[in-house]
Amino acid sequence: MDDLMLKIISLCKRRGFVFPSSEIYGGFSSCYDFGPLGVELKRNIKNLWWDEMTKKHKALVGLDASILMSPKVWQASGHLSAGFADELVECKKCHKRFKLDEIKTKKCPECNGVLTKPKKFNLMMKTFVGSVEDEAAKTYLRPETCQGIYVNFLNVLDTMRMKIPFGIAQIGKAFRNEITPGNYIFRVREFEQMEMQWFCSPKASKTPDDWFNYWKKERLKWYLNLGIKKENLRAIEIPKKERAHYAKRQVDIEYKFPFGWKEIEGVHNRGDWDLSNHSKHSKQDLSFENYIPHIIETSVGVERISLAFLCEAYQEIAGGRTKTTKAIKEKEVLLKLHKKLAPIKAAVLPLVKNKPELTKKAQEVYQLLKTNFTCQYDENGSIGKRYRRQDEIGTCFCLTIDFDTLKQNDVTIRDRDTMKQERVKIKDLVKVLTEKLDV
Ligand code: ATP
């Protein structure tokens, strides 16, 4: 694996962003757990997306549908037929499985053994509902969250008195029995999706294609506003032959990961396919004013963009940035996450540990801030070392409590990016940090 990726993975493990699932039992199947810092990062991403969708945009409401749904939903959506299956070949000798479209040779890429004929493999995870494990009780963990939105279209329309065009946003877990998971948290078997479905009219002067262009632009802007550099982001128009049969248009938003350009989000014009199909299968009329609404979808995975934001933020500064300390000038790591994404907003650091009057004051400041911002208190090691520990996890501000604090009731605020320091009165701290963090 790429050197940079190994460094990011190591940082994530060491500093409590991401742990392998069931690690004390040797890990499990491309599943990962988000640790105390990872969960804050993920929560920030989800909150920013949710606020962007439901607060910034007019006529956009939220939903939280269940993971388990009637198997009839998957019949109607096409997931039980060939559509959601990958073609697999298996090596007769080592029994490894490969996606047909990913292998270039006719022999096993691992052991050169003979391969079986391709077989369809459905990516949905089966489960049983109730006490009897028979066909009647069989259902699936949802492989995408959007079906929960389609089947609630009428409920939302009626209860919220919505009018076309309007949208429904949802964040929730999805499961795919991926054959080739990998690249750390890029492709996993259990992940969270943030999906928005925009219902619009094919007859209106603002056409579904106009809405498609609008959402594509909005989504690109969102990444740029959160610190992704322009040169690391691109939108690729997917040609007809590579799209799902019902998709009228598809743009993949891609990020330049250390392992190459990869999709992070899809923007799809799904036409009237979803609501027509659910109308047909459920025998419910899902039309609005005598037409079936068309759907523009934006769909993104939280783990996948967490990795994109981490890759974008990771910096190594050779020789160190801290010119004032006598510490050996080694490589320093800076996680330059956008302030709204940073898991820890402020760290409270007494200048030295063995002066009770300083640690007592620092604890007071910590208690004052901790109900407003995610904070850490750290008194171990030299102040320079503590700054570096905070830089490595992207903490926006370090607040140092020193002997002047005791006389003047102010603290030093050190900015992560500029390393500039200023003194701020303790009574003004919440206000000043709120302004600086724009929260
Ligand atoms: P890929 O082929 O890259 O796995 P896809 O084309 O199957 O993705 P979609 O079905 O369009 O993806 O899903 C929309 C988004 O959901 C993706 O852009 C990605 O961010 C996320 N996603 C899909 N599958 C996974 C997965 N296995 N792990 C993490 N995120 C995923």
For residue 272, being part of any structural domain is answered with yes
Asked whether the beta carbons of 226 and 253 are under 8 A apart, the reply is no
One domain for residues 355 and 280: no
Answer whether residue 324 shows pLDDT above 70: no
Any idea of the CA torsion for 144, 147, 149, 153, to the nearest 10 degrees?
A: 170
What's the CATH number where 397 sits? Answer: 3.40.50.800
> For residue 412, what are its two tokens?
């030093």
One domain for residues 152 and 272: yes
End-of-domain residue from the set 255, 284, 310 = 310
End-of-domain residue from the set 310, 335, 361 = 310
| Residue 93 banded pLDDT, cuts 50, 70, 90 | confident
- Residue 180 confidence (pLDDT): 81
One domain for residues 18 and 166: yes
Q: Is the CB of 41 under 6 A from ligand 1?
A: no
One domain for residues 289 and 226: yes
Q: Is the CB of 187 under 6 A from ligand 1?
A: yes
One domain for residues 283 and 412: no
Q: Which domain holds residue 52?
A: 3-71+141-310
Strands 125-128 and 138-141: antiparallel
Answer whether residue 15 shows pLDDT above 90: yes
In order of 8, 13, 61, 179, 349, the CA distances from 33 in angstroms are 16, 10, 29, 20, 29
- Residue 326 confidence (pLDDT): 55
- Residue 101 confidence (pLDDT): 81
Residue identifier of the C-alpha nearest atom 2 of ligand 1: 263
Any idea of the CA torsion for 54, 60, 66, 72, to the nearest 10 degrees?
A: -160
| Residue 321 banded pLDDT, cuts 50, 70, 90 | confident
> In angstroms, what is the span from residue 301 Cα to ligand 1's centroid?
6
For residue 91, being part of any structural domain is answered with no
For residue 295, being part of any structural domain is answered with yes
What's the CATH number where 171 sits? Answer: 3.30.930.10
- Residue 84 confidence (pLDDT): 67
What is the C-alpha to C-alpha distance for residues 350 and 368, in angstroms, rounded to an integer? 15
- Residue 82 confidence (pLDDT): 61
What total of structural domains would you count in the chain? 2
Average pLDDT (212-216) is 98
Instruction: Give the model confidence (pLDDT) of 100-139 as tens digits.
Output: 888 888 888 888 988 988 887 888 999 999 888 888 889 9
> In angstroms, what is the span from residue 233 Cα to ligand 1's centroid?
17
| Residue 29 banded pLDDT, cuts 50, 70, 90 | confident
Residue identifier of the C-alpha nearest atom 15 of ligand 1: 300
> For residue 406, what are its two tokens?
């005791």
Most ligand 1 atoms within 8 A of CB, residue of 46, 265, 304, 306 to mutate: 304
One domain for residues 204 and 348: no
One domain for residues 288 and 355: no
Instruction: Tell me the percentage of the chain whose pLDDT exceeds 90.
Output: 81
Q: Which of 175-184, 203-212, 345-354, 359-368 has the lowest mean pLDDT?
A: 175-184
Residues 282-315: b if buried by 16+ CB within 10 A, e if exposed:
eeeebebeeebbbbbbbbbbbbbbbbbbbbbbbe
Residue identifier of the C-alpha nearest atom 28 of ligand 1: 187
One domain for residues 290 and 431: no
Average pLDDT (410-415) is 98
- Residue 188 confidence (pLDDT): 96
Asked whether the beta carbons of 299 and 193 are under 8 A apart, the reply is yes
Q: Could you tell me the pTM of the whole model?
A: 0.94
One domain for residues 223 and 288: yes
- Specify the residue for token string 């050190």: 414
> In angstroms, what is the span from residue 130 Cα to ligand 1's centroid?
30
Q: Is the CB of 266 under 6 A from ligand 1?
A: yes
- Residue 95 confidence (pLDDT): 78
What is the C-alpha to C-alpha distance for residues 339 and 399, in angstroms, rounded to an integer? 16
One domain for residues 176 and 263: yes
| Residue 144 banded pLDDT, cuts 50, 70, 90 | very high
Nearest-10 crossing angle of helices 429-437, 356-370? 50
Most ligand 1 atoms within 8 A of CB, residue of 192, 236, 263 to mutate: 263
For residue 236, being part of any structural domain is answered with yes
For residue 185, being part of any structural domain is answered with yes
Instruction: Tell me the percentage of the chain whose pLDDT exceeds 70.
Output: 97
For residue 338, being part of any structural domain is answered with no
Instruction: Give the model confidence (pLDDT) of 272-312 as tens digits.
Output: 999 999 999 999 999 999 999 999 999 999 999 999 999 99
For residue 77, being part of any structural domain is answered with no
Answer whether residue 33 shows pLDDT above 80: yes
> In angstroms, what is the span from residue 211 Cα to ligand 1's centroid?
22
- Residue 119 confidence (pLDDT): 81
For residue 423, being part of any structural domain is answered with yes
> In angstroms, what is the span from residue 238 Cα to ligand 1's centroid?
15
Instruction: Give the model confidence (pLDDT) of 354-405 as tens digits.
Output: 999 999 999 999 999 999 999 999 999 999 999 999 999 999 999 999 999 9
End-of-domain residue from the set 288, 310, 332 = 310
Answer whether residue 327 shows pLDDT above 60: no
One domain for residues 281 and 365: no
Residue identifier of the C-alpha nearest atom 23 of ligand 1: 301
Q: To the nearest whole number, what is the mean pLDDT of the chain?
A: 94
One domain for residues 410 and 279: no
